[in-house]
Copies of this chain bind each other. A is one copy, B any other.
Amino acid sequence: MLDLNYRDSRPIYGQIKDGLRKMIVTGALGPDEKLPSVRAMASQLAINPNTIQRAYAELEAEGFIYSVPGKGSFAADRGQAPTGRREELFARLREILAELRYLNVSDEEIIAVVKEGTPQ
């Protein structure tokens, strides 16, 4: 389901968060779909359950998943994102755009990438 990179300087719980977030926003994990249990994923990745717990807790605080004690953790339905998330994404988008222009990448190339992922 996920793969970790121990050479990466990013903390493990961060890599797990990013991986799960990516699966959720791309639809690889649909709304209300069940995630592996804290203990199952810890066992699968050969790391401590507390590390998974931390990743899940933060993903829940950010609105990407929800957890029910005794039942499990599930992918959230879209629209639960905290206010300011759009603005944060736009800010990061502008930074990337600035560097792409610095590297002489044209608007046409960039817009092509935007449209290549368009649904329908």
Residue of B nearest to A100 (CB): B89
A102 neighbours in B (Cβ, 8 Å): 24-26, 78
Q: How many copies of this chain? A: 2
Cβ of A86 under 8 Å from chain B? yes
Report how many residues on chain A are interfacial, defined by Cβ distance under 8 Å. 35
A103 on interface, CB distance cutoff 8 Å? yes
Among B93, B99, B103, the residue within 8 A (CB) of A21 is B99
State whether A114 touches B110 (Cβ < 8 A): yes
Other CB < 8 Å A-B pairs besides A25-B101, A86-B105, 12 of them?
Answer: A22-B95, A25-B98, A78-B103, A81-B103, A86-B103, A89-B99, A89-B103, A90-B113, A93-B113, A98-B117, A101-B117, A111-B114
Q: Could you list which residues of chain A lie within 8 angstroms of chain B, going by C-beta atoms?
A: 21-22, 24-26, 78-79, 81, 85-86, 89-90, 92-105, 107, 110-111, 113-115, 117-119
